[in-house]
Amino acid sequence: MACLSPSQLKKFQEDGFLLLEGFFTADECVAMQQRIGEIVAEMDVPLHCRTEFSTQEDEQLQTQGKTDYFLSSGDKIRFFFEKGVFDEKALHAHDPVFRSITHSPKVQALVRSLGLQMPVVVQSMYIFKQPHFGGEVSPHQDATFLYTEPLGRVLGLWIAMEDAMLENGCLWFIPGSHTHGVSRRMIRAPSDSGPGTSFLGSDPVWASNLFVPLPVRRGGLVLIHGEVVHKSEQNLSGHSRQAYTVHIMEAAGTVWSPGNWLQPTPELPFPPLYS
């Protein structure tokens, strides 16, 4: 059932994340994997646009923050090379297969059960996490990059296309860390200034023993609060760890920060989730 039970809702509110096993079928996962394979086969990214995606501040400022290819990626399907990992954005807006999954009745029912009245889709990504060299994602909060006022209006949906286990880089979370606010923000600079992005504040050093792993079988969906601290380790196994992720914002009574790197455009505003 797509709707959350009272106990599931309570657990999500307490922990800041929640696993829903078997949310998508094997056939739905296959359809997405086949479609992404077709998209990648047609990929044509000029060398000067081959940007690495990272949550590390120094790496971001050196690569993403200096290129219009990254800053203008919010309303386009674009490719990012995160230490050997292909990462595609805006699939929810431009591809019929991913659009149908993102706006499927069961996703809509799930989001309604969380109480969202006017949810909009702000971002989507397909992450490959290739075997043997798929890069780590350092501890971070999604609201660092997708900031709203008030906070707590961004929700991540992380969908396992393949089994995500300890050996191939599953997600790790600090339970309850979504209740302490945001320690760092990524800010988009004026177009006539230097680097395209900068940071306000800094992240604390989170002790490794605070994190708990969350293995997920294929088709499982993880709800991620925008402020919960999470990470994933490098994939040194022989198995990839593909995932499709979507970020949703409650638009009612919410201000999307004009300082966010990702901005809607008049041609393509953030699309409503509900049909």
Report the half-sphere exposure of 226 (CA within 13 A, side-chain side): 24
**How many separate helices (H) and strands (E) can be counted in the chain?**
7, 15
**What does the buried/exposed string (b/e) look like for 240-259 if buried means 16 or more CB atoms within 10 Å of the residue's CB?**
bbbbbbbbbbbbeebebbee
**Coil/strand/helix, residue 40:** helix
Residue pLDDT tens, the chain, 275 long = 589 999 999 999 999 999 999 999 999 999 999 999 998 888 765 544 444 444 454 544 454 444 554 444 444 444 444 544 445 557 887 899 999 999 999 999 999 999 999 999 999 999 989 898 888 999 999 999 999 999 999 999 999 999 999 999 999 999 999 999 999 999 987 765 555 788 999 989 999 999 999 999 999 999 999 999 999 999 999 999 999 999 999 999 999 999 998 899 887 799 999 97
Which of 43, 62, 45 lies closest to 53 in space, CA to CA? 62
Phi and psi torsions of 187, nearest 5°: -115, 135
Sign of the Cα pseudo-torsion (85, 91, 94, 97, in order) = positive
Residue 82 near residue 135 (C-beta atoms within 8 A): yes
User: Which fold does the domain 6-41+81-256 belong to in CATH?
Assistant: Jelly Rolls (2.60.120)
pLDDT of residue 18: 98
pLDDT of residue 97: 95
pLDDT of residue 1: 53
Find the angle CA(210)-CA(116)-CA(151) to the nearest 5 degrees.
50
**Distance from C-alpha of 24 to C-alpha of 128, rounded to nearest angstrom:** 18
